[in-house]
Structure 1
Amino acid sequence: MSTNKQEWQDSTLSRVTGRFPERRDAFVTDSGLPLDTVYTPEDEVSAGVGHADAIGYPGEFPYTRGVQPNMYRGRVWTMRQYAGYATAAATNERYRYLLENGQTGLSVAFDLPTQIGYDSDHPLAEGEVGKVGVPICSLADMETLFDGIPLDKVSTSMTINATAAVLLCLYIAAGKKQGVTPDQLSGTLQNDILKEYIARGTYAYPPRPSMRLVVDVFRYCAENVPRWNTISISGYHMREAGATASQELAFTFANAIAYVQAAVDAGLPVDDFAPRLSFFFVAQNNLFEEVAKFRAARRLWANIMRDRFGAKDPRSMMLRFHTQTAGVTLTAQQPDNNVIRSTVQALAAVLGGTQSLHVNSRDEALSLPTEESAQLSLRTQQILAHESGAADVVDPLGGSWYIENLTDRLEASTLDYIQRIDQMGGAVAAIEDGFQVREIGDAAFRHQREVDSNDRVVVGVNQYVTEAPPISGLLRVDATAAAEQVERLRTLRRERDNMAVQISLARLADAARSTGANTIPLMMECVERYATLGEICDVLRQVFGEYEPVGGL
């Protein structure tokens, strides 16, 4: 019997591999971390592994094992299925359908014009209205979107960034129309503009004035909307663009550091706003690397907030995050395979301790999901929660020598990246230099080269390929929906008090020019007088200018 790993490799393992060579020259994770055949206590990569100060217990610093002591034994994660298309009325029907089928939170997808600050009748909006999300141009649209859905009872996540402040104001105003006060509202605003310059591209203004809007939201919500998560700092889109797991963590936390520092520099005490910060990560295919990534993320954030920013409130150090399965892994070929992919990814999110989850649908490589495929994705979550046993124990993979080794290595590589970004002057300076875009582009190129050479197997695409008939019953957005949306918008402009709108827009412009004013109360005044999203954003474009991209984005 071997007494250590080297002895086992030299005796037992070598006898087998000499006769039956391993199927690859080297095994690595999706992020390129080399993998040994087996892991033992000898593979601890930092002094902290296996010790209480590095792993700890759930609900205690550094939260490696979870932010709640009993996690899903007390309450399962919030089940959100990201949805939005055609019109506010059509999307409202989808929300009602999902809630009736057991969804426990709403997640709003906005169309591209809404995301970048144009009304549905703007020339640049033509052909895009209602295609990848719901068009929201005014308070009237927001009222329709949530008609019959009590905003004091439902938590809503809104995936919106450049125009996040405006959409938040519209949501608050819609709540008031229902008789729901701002302090009763709960939900999350993505509001993560920095990653738009890195990976996604739905920006409007340059980074520095955009950061001001983020801080304005922090300040306003701390004083008026205390249950609202003011930002969801997102690694998801950078990973979808080709980032590795450690790049996903590093670039996300570098952005988070920039947001926290900007708020502190603006005079906000860190413990006043940090408890409402949240995060958004992807769950990719490599089950164990993803679980380790989520565990490393919690430990990294706890130490960043305590050591870098001096946070005292434990809630400021708790990393709470939403997870979405990986859209980039969905294939148009053999779309039923996507059900298996998304199930494995969802399991990784659950084993990793996510607070909320969206599971992608089988047909999303081809179209927006149908009701039936969205229901199947929701049922995937429900089966994981109630039938798999994955929710019955906190951090069930904790203590695995493999998982702890991966957790430590991902943490170390993430910290190396953060140090490089710090040396460049922080996330905003690195973005202005195009650093993150270049790094992600290089990683994406390596990934695609591996697929093209068959070194990375994608089932149904480069191996196990079969001929199959096209999938039927795809969701298609009716072309008349855009025309209806434009007509409603024009009717709104005719019937509102246009003089009051112009006065409010002028007041907003003055606030935007003033470095000390918070823009959010003036935006609230604009939206309550039925100024449109495009009109508000045009005012801000005139004051802030528009972003000119560097490099790829």
Structure 2
Amino acid sequence: MSAASTTTSPVHTEPDTLQAAQQRWEATTLARTLARMPESRSGFTTVSLRPIQRLYTPNDLPDFDYVRDLGFPGEFPYTRGIHATGYRGKLWTMRQFAGFGSPEDTNQRFRYLLEQGQTGLSVAFDLPTLMGYDADSPFSLGEVGKCGVSVSSLADMETLFAGIPLEKVTTSMTINAPASVIFAMFIVTAEKQGADLRKVSGTLQNDILKEYIAQKEWIYPPRPAMRLVTDSIAFCVEHMPKFNPVSISGYHIREAGATAAQELAFTLRDGIEYVQACIEAGLNVDDFAPRLSFFFNAHNDFFEEIAKYRAARRLWARIMRERFGAQQERSWMLRFHAQTAGCTLTAQQPYNNVVRVAIQALAAVLGGTQSLHTNSLDETLALPSEQAATIALRTQQIIAHETGVTNTIDPLGGSYFVEKLTNDLEAEALDYIRRIDALGGMVAAIEAGFPQKEIQEASYQYQKVVDSREKIIVGVNGYTQSETQEVPLLLIDERAEQAQRERLAALRAQRDNAAVKRALQALAEGARTNANTMPLIIEAVRTYATLGEICDCLRPVFGEYQEPAF
């Protein structure tokens, strides 16, 4: 037989013909199989309880247009990724979240992770810092250094980054309510190192809206808190063009119990709110939009997560181009960091968490993340030990260098299932965005309790299927063991709190307290006007005014937030 006779051209099957073929398959091959071996349950769903069909075909994508809906990597609408070469040119940033005890303790962990091949830093702060309290505040008792590093002053920030060149190492800081103050400390520390601020890169989370929705760490009411965010964005536009002043975070929304579609919708609608606020503050959309970044959860449902990231890029591109009229391509690109899902980790059989994290991380990579944190196996029990953090980092390195998934771009693109799931998530997210628009925007929706109640209901529905064992959590409600697995844990030295208190006392005794008072008065006066607060906060930080002192000086101006009962 000649070569020509064995070569065939692809044949397009008409929808009616395909439907008839599928009906034949269902009536014969499938029916015989089901009679012999029934399916294990009546309904199959994603983690978000989205029903999943037995089979997907081209008929599930009746209006699908390759160029419009899928396109090419690096081109609008970026479904297949924002870079034309995917990971073939550059891997994602491996950015392990770290922080515990004193600034000295965390500085040592940072240095260790960088030595192990980590390519970016990510700072976890303790609860008092997240809430704007100094280590010696009565509200901080027993919490200093426990869930992250304690930072109360510029002196702490200088210690935290001692020997780490901030102009050369990208740094992410997970801080929200007092983000402006921590950012100011970071800026002054970089200046003291001799860094050129225009070359300093990194990301400030600074996403206060998701705090009201999910994480519940706030100081001021939503509207003045939004002003602090826009002030920091405006400051970066002028002085730090390589720094991302906000990381719009769906991660914590998902951790609170949201579905994948709710995470997608509420995160992008928060983004819309920030863009609108910046425009109303007089900024040009193309001056700041390229520096907006996003932060998503990498949950257990492999395909749903991949589809979520693809839908997010496509949605954001259209929102920025069509809703806000952004002209620059970089303004249309959704860049995101992903973190594996802390809420999926189990205290039971904790070594199972290594497997969960690997699968979640793989989904984030196949979804095209720009940056990734992999959780440690022991995080339901304590902050990560050095050994557990190393395994988590090695997980990323194995995916990058041993699996082959970086060889081609968007390898699941064109899958009938993935494309249908991407479309469905986009449609559900758009419906949520329209509902929030109708409520008057995200701030108004938060004040009405809309996203909070939607997440509460989704979380309740998921817990019901876990309790009924419709969803199996290995080691928790299935495949359980009576014996426990011993895991070496990181224990925080209780002396860290006393040491931080003593440092603060010494700082207050040594600094120019008259200068501190003048700087705080100037900040309070500026906050009562339309002045950008960032330069005023920076000046207060230069005098070694503490985190708590700066936050407290703004409390009488902005007020304090109390969440109403919904």
Q: Residue 5 of structure 1 contacts residue 42 of structure 1 at CA under 8 Å; is this kept in 2?
A: no
- Cα distance in 1 for partners of 2:484, 2:40 equals 33
Matched residue, 1:518: 532
**Cα separation, partners in 2 of 1:55 and 1:472, compared to 1, 3 Å:** closer
- Cα distance in 2 for partners of 1:208, 1:8 equals 58
- Cα distance in 1 for partners of 2:343, 2:565 equals 22
- Cα distance in 2 for partners of 1:440, 1:28 equals 18
- Cα distance in 2 for partners of 1:250, 1:541 equals 31
- Aligned with 1:95 (options 107, 110, 126): 110
Does 2:28 match 1:11? Answer: yes
Matched residue, 1:139: 154
Does 2:93 match 1:84? Answer: no
Deviation per CA, 1:312-333: give whole Å up to 9, x if none.
0100110000000000000000
Q: Quick check: which has more Rg, 1 or 2? A: 2
- Cα distance in 1 for partners of 2:487, 2:477 equals 23
Matched residue, 1:253: 268
Q: Residue 279 of structure 2 contacts residue 285 of structure 2 at CA under 8 Å; is this kept in 1?
A: yes
Does 2:50 match 1:36? Answer: no
> How far off is 1:383 after superposition?
0.3
Q: How does 1:26-175 map to 2 (within 5 A)?
A: 26-44=43-61, 47=63, 49-175=64-190
- Aligned with 1:263 (options 278, 293, 300): 278
- Cα distance in 2 for partners of 1:302, 1:548 equals 35
- Cα distance in 1 for partners of 2:57, 2:486 equals 46
Deviation per CA, 1:501-534: give whole Å up to 9, x if none.
10000000011000x2000000010001100000
- Aligned with 1:228 (options 243, 247, 259): 243
Gaps of 5+ in 2: 1-16
- Cα distance in 2 for partners of 1:51, 1:472 equals 49
- Cα distance in 2 for partners of 1:543, 1:6 equals 68
- Aligned with 2:548 (options 514, 534, 548): 534
Q: Residue 182 of structure 1 contacts residue 224 of structure 1 at CA under 8 Å; is this kept in 2?
A: yes
Q: How does 1:534-553 map to 2 (within 5 A)?
A: 534-551=548-565
User: Which secondary structure does the structure 2 equivalent of 1:53 belong to?
Assistant: helix
Matched residue, 2:191: 176
Q: Residue 437 of structure 1 contacts residue 551 of structure 1 at CA under 8 Å; is this kept in 2?
A: no
Q: How does 1:323-338 map to 2 (within 5 A)?
A: 323-338=338-353
Matched residue, 2:295: 280
- Cα distance in 2 for partners of 1:273, 1:168 equals 17
Deviation per CA, 1:208-255: give whole Å up to 9, x if none.
000000000110000001100011000000100100000000111111
Q: How does 1:265-414 map to 2 (within 5 A)?
A: 265-414=280-429
- Cα distance in 2 for partners of 1:4, 1:44 equals 17
- Cα distance in 2 for partners of 1:404, 1:6 equals 22
Q: Residue 248 of structure 2 contacts residue 271 of structure 2 at CA under 8 Å; is this kept in 1?
A: yes
**Cα separation, partners in 2 of 1:27 and 1:472, compared to 1, 3 Å:** closer
User: Which secondary structure does the structure 2 equivalent of 1:273 belong to?
Assistant: helix
User: Which secondary structure does the structure 1 equivalent of 2:300 belong to?
Assistant: coil
Q: Which amino acid aligns with 1:33?
A: R
Q: Which amino acid aligns with 2:308?
A: K
- Aligned with 1:205 (options 217, 220, 229): 220
User: Which secondary structure does the structure 2 equivalent of 1:52 belong to?
Assistant: helix
User: Which secondary structure does the structure 2 equivalent of 1:274 belong to?
Assistant: helix
Q: Which amino acid aligns with 2:352?
A: N
RMSD over aligned Cα, in angstroms?
1.1
Deviation per CA, 1:277-297: give whole Å up to 9, x if none.
000000001101100000000
> How far off is 1:4 after superposition?
2.9
Matched residue, 2:256: 241
User: Which secondary structure does the structure 2 equivalent of 1:339 belong to?
Assistant: helix
> How far off is 1:184 after superposition?
1.8
Dislocated runs of 4+, deviation >4 Å: none
Q: Residue 378 of structure 2 contacts residue 487 of structure 2 at CA under 8 Å; is this kept in 1?
A: no
Deviation per CA, 1:10-58: give whole Å up to 9, x if none.
222122112321111011111222111111111116x2x2421111000
- Cα distance in 2 for partners of 1:480, 1:135 equals 13
Matched residue, 1:421: 436
> How far off is 1:5 after superposition?
2.2
- Cα distance in 2 for partners of 1:44, 1:379 equals 38
- Aligned with 2:518 (options 503, 510, 523): 503
> How far off is 1:310 after superposition?
0.4
Deviation per CA, 1:167-194: give whole Å up to 9, x if none.
1110010001111121121000000000
> How far off is 1:551 after superposition?
3.0
- Cα distance in 1 for partners of 2:48, 2:96 equals 27
Q: Residue 247 of structure 2 contacts residue 294 of structure 2 at CA under 8 Å; is this kept in 1?
A: yes
- Cα distance in 2 for partners of 1:5, 1:92 equals 60
Moved more, 328-337 or 50-59: 50-59
User: Which secondary structure does the structure 2 equivalent of 1:478 belong to?
Assistant: coil
Q: Which amino acid aligns with 2:488?
A: G
- Cα distance in 2 for partners of 1:114, 1:8 equals 61
Matched residue, 2:11: none
- Cα distance in 2 for partners of 1:22, 1:436 equals 36
Does 2:499 match 1:484? Answer: yes
User: Which secondary structure does the structure 2 equivalent of 1:107 belong to?
Assistant: strand
> How far off is 1:548 after superposition?
0.9
User: Which secondary structure does the structure 1 equivalent of 2:227 belong to?
Assistant: helix
- Cα distance in 2 for partners of 1:462, 1:62 equals 42
- Cα distance in 2 for partners of 1:5, 1:74 equals 42
User: Which secondary structure does the structure 2 equivalent of 1:299 belong to?
Assistant: helix
Report how many aligned residue pairs link the two structures: 549
Q: Residue 94 of structure 2 contacts residue 120 of structure 2 at CA under 8 Å; is this kept in 1?
A: yes
Q: Report the TM-score when normalising by structure 1.
A: 0.98
- Cα distance in 1 for partners of 2:500, 2:520 equals 23
User: Which secondary structure does the structure 1 equivalent of 2:66 belong to?
Assistant: coil
User: Which secondary structure does the structure 2 equivalent of 1:106 belong to?
Assistant: strand
Q: Which amino acid aligns with 1:160?
A: I
- Cα distance in 2 for partners of 1:264, 1:153 equals 31
Moved more, 110-119 or 49-58: 49-58
> How far off is 1:472 after superposition?
3.5
- Cα distance in 2 for partners of 1:160, 1:139 equals 16
- Cα distance in 1 for partners of 2:492, 2:394 equals 25
- Cα distance in 2 for partners of 1:551, 1:68 equals 45
Q: Residue 350 of structure 2 contacts residue 485 of structure 2 at CA under 8 Å; is this kept in 1?
A: no
User: Which secondary structure does the structure 2 equivalent of 1:13 belong to?
Assistant: helix
Q: Residue 86 of structure 1 contacts residue 477 of structure 1 at CA under 8 Å; is this kept in 2?
A: yes
- Cα distance in 1 for partners of 2:458, 2:247 equals 24
Gaps of 5+ in 1: none
- Cα distance in 2 for partners of 1:36, 1:13 equals 14
Q: Which amino acid aligns with 1:183?
A: R
> How far off is 1:470 after superposition?
4.3
